[in-house]
Structure 1
Amino acid sequence: MAVTMTEAAADHVSRFLDNRGKGFGVRVGVKTTGCSGMGYILEFVDDALTEDTVFECHGVNVVVDPKSLVYIDGTELDFVKEGLNEGFKFNNPRAASECGCGESFSV
């Protein structure tokens, strides 16, 4: 499987990388936090590490470390606009539950 992103998410990340003036791609991962146990990490990266897995989606590199890949394999990253709000949405088939605020999940 893989970690993928929609075209809308890829376009948004591409614009940020262009404005930043540098970058290899975006890192998607997890950390221990929140009500349910794990939260998502999303950050720009200038280089992938040798242990990272890199997926290419719509011209954007998605970088995932091996520990995170266990929890987010199959996840699709989307960028959504709802009224005045906009942001990334993680569609993770491995998530068994999410907390009420949507900031964390468990598997």
Structure 2
Amino acid sequence: MTITITPAANERMRHFLANTPDANGVRFGVKRTGCSGFAYVVDLADEIGADDQQVEIDGVRLIVDRKSLPLVEGTVIDFQRQGLNASFVFHNPNATGECGCGESFTVG
């Protein structure tokens, strides 16, 4: 699994994990939704399933389910602040298009 977490995203994930010590790590994946087909999911992982892949990146355990892995392989996860807004930003080499609002993506 080749996923990169920028220092800003790593800091944000560590903050969430420090406030939830029972979490097993950060779950990263996709779900079907939006006008383009898939949306990213980033959440704290309560459980680790048998089909989940795990990787430790700079002290953050990232957990990706088997179905999401081909769609997020090679993604760079960043965290950006713009004015009052703050969010994770994804640079996914597998995405062939995004919706206008940037909430969902398609793959070829």
**Short-chain TM bin:** over 0.9
Deviations 1:14-41 (A, max 9, x none): 1111112321111111111001011111
Deviations 1:44-66 (A, max 9, x none): 01332221111211100110011
Structure 2: state its 5+ residue gaps.
none
Q: TM-score, normalised by structure 1?
A: 0.93
Distance 1:24 1:10 in 2: 15
Question: 3-state DSSP class of the match of 2:68?
Answer: helix
Question: 3-state DSSP class of the match of 2:13?
Answer: helix
Worse-matched range after superposition: 59-68 or 75-84: 75-84
Q: Which amino acid aligns with 2:78?
A: D
Structure with more of its chain in strand, by fraction: 2
After superposition, where does 1:1-107 map in structure 2 within 5 Å? 1-107=1-107
Worse-matched range after superposition: 92-101 or 9-18: 9-18
Worse-matched range after superposition: 29-38 or 39-48: 39-48
Equivalences, count: 107
- Report the CA distance between 1:43 and its aligned residue: 1.1
Structure 1 residue ranges, 4+ long, deviating more than 4 angstroms after superposition:
none
- Report the CA distance between 1:72 and its aligned residue: 0.7
Distance 1:22 1:79 in 2: 23
Q: Which amino acid aligns with 1:32?
A: R
Distance 1:55 1:8 in 2: 18
Question: 3-state DSSP class of the match of 1:67?
Answer: coil
- Report the CA distance between 1:3 and its aligned residue: 1.9
- Report the CA distance between 1:82 and its aligned residue: 1.5
Q: TM-score, normalised by structure 2?
A: 0.92
For the aligned residue pairs, the C-alpha RMSD in angstroms reads 1.2
Structure 1: state its 5+ residue gaps.
none
